Structure 1
Amino acid sequence: MAKGTIRYWAAAKDASGVAEEPFEAATLAELMANVTAGRAELARVVRRSSFLVDGHPVGRRAHEEVVLAEGVTVEVLPPFAGG
């Protein structure tokens, strides 16, 4: 199980109530389950979000297959408006 930091941007930051927080999780799926437990609005935002793991886009990879390393930073990027 890795320890790291999760950073929230825009609507994810509003829904979580914090800009970032520490976590312990082995995979991105486990992390998302942990941080959204009891936080319905954050869960709603996360379902529509994309993710960076140490600056690398997760893309369409299954979150269960994204293994988190010790000291990792995960960023939650909700859809942004604009053009």
Structure 2
Amino acid sequence: MAKGTIRYWAAAKAAAGTGEEPYDAATLAEAIGAAALKEGRNGDFRRVVERSSFLVDGDPVGTRPHASVRLPEGGVVEVLPPFAGG
């Protein structure tokens, strides 16, 4: 297990009810799964996260399965929902 920070942006921040929170997880899937179970989170959080892109310490996760993305100790996960506009 690694400890680090999840940062939420735009709609993800609104759905999470916070701009950032700690993680204690080995993989991205574990971290996001635990975040979804936090008190007060509803289906909006899951819907936003399912459409979001992720960076781990600045590196894009892309299409890799989240269960295969190992999280580093002291790392930062960025949750980036789709952005509108141009």
TM-score (norm 1): 0.95
> Cα RMSD over matched residues?
0.9
**Displacement of 1:50:** 0.3
- AA matched with 1:54: D
Residue 78 (1) aligns with residue 81 (2): yes
Identity of aligned residues (%): 66
The 5-angstrom pairing of residues 29-68 of structure 1 reads 29-37=29-37, 39=41, 40-68=43-71
- In 1, the alpha carbon distance for the partners of 2:80 and 2:54 equals 6
- In 1, the alpha carbon distance for the partners of 2:23 and 2:56 equals 13
Aligned length: 83
- AA matched with 2:81: P
Task: Tell which deviates more after alignment, 37-46 or 12-21.
Answer: 37-46
What are the ranges of 5 or more consecutive residues in structure 1 without an aligned counterpart? none
**Displacement of 1:44:** 1.0
TM-score (norm 2): 0.92
- Paired position in structure 2 for 1:2: 2
**Displacement of 1:8:** 0.2
What are the ranges of 5 or more consecutive residues in structure 2 without an aligned counterpart? none
What secondary structure does 1:31 align onto?
helix
Structure 1 residue ranges, 4+ long, deviating more than 4 angstroms after superposition: none
- Paired position in structure 1 for 2:15: 15
**Displacement of 1:41:** 1.4
